[in-house]
Amino acid sequence: MKTLIEELEQLLDGGTAHVGLNEATADIPFDLLGEKPHNLPYSIWQLVEHIRIAQWDMLEFSIDGSHKSPKWPDAYWPEETAPADKNMWDKTLRQIEDDLEAFIELIQTKDLYEPIPHGTGQNLLREALQIADHATYHIAEIVIMRRLLGIWKNS
């Protein structure tokens, strides 16, 4: 079990086969966070904020039987294309990190296979894999957007 938890921790923290969120969001010029390159339907800010909202929802679902998820899909995506200011951007990145740390602590201390009492068969293992899968998908989109904007390594 210890090996599985260590592997999940590594996967949740960005894994080893791809770029993690910290690398994907490092050194993005603030004025480009709201750009929608090549007619894409969202900006980097909207993707990062979407990751935050979805991860927060999965964490809260895992620990709080009275948690009410946001309305899908609208409440999982910010309407504004860019953060109001750098503080808002930093706060979003910090919350993603804090919520991820809280989820990792959860999988270190609870039974991964025990059904979540208020769920419909979900368990912490499923939630961990879903958090990692969801974030990885959108992190790849961030990297592609950075390439299109000419702000990725060797763009």
Q: Give pLDDT tens digits for 57-103.
A: 999 999 999 999 999 999 999 999 999 999 999 999 999 999 999 99
Greatest C-alpha distance within the chain: 48
Mean pLDDT of 131-149: 97
Q: Give pLDDT tens digits for 2-14.
A: 999 999 999 999 8
**Is the pLDDT assigned to residue 15 strictly greater than 90?**
no
8 A C-beta contact, residue 58 and residue 145: no
Q: Give pLDDT tens digits for 107-133.
A: 999 999 999 999 999 999 999 999 999
Residue with tokens 């993005």: 28
Per-residue pLDDT band at 155 (split at 50, 70, 90): low
Q: What's the CA gap between 137 and 81, in Å, rounded?
A: 19
Q: What's the CA gap between 128 and 24, in Å, rounded?
A: 20
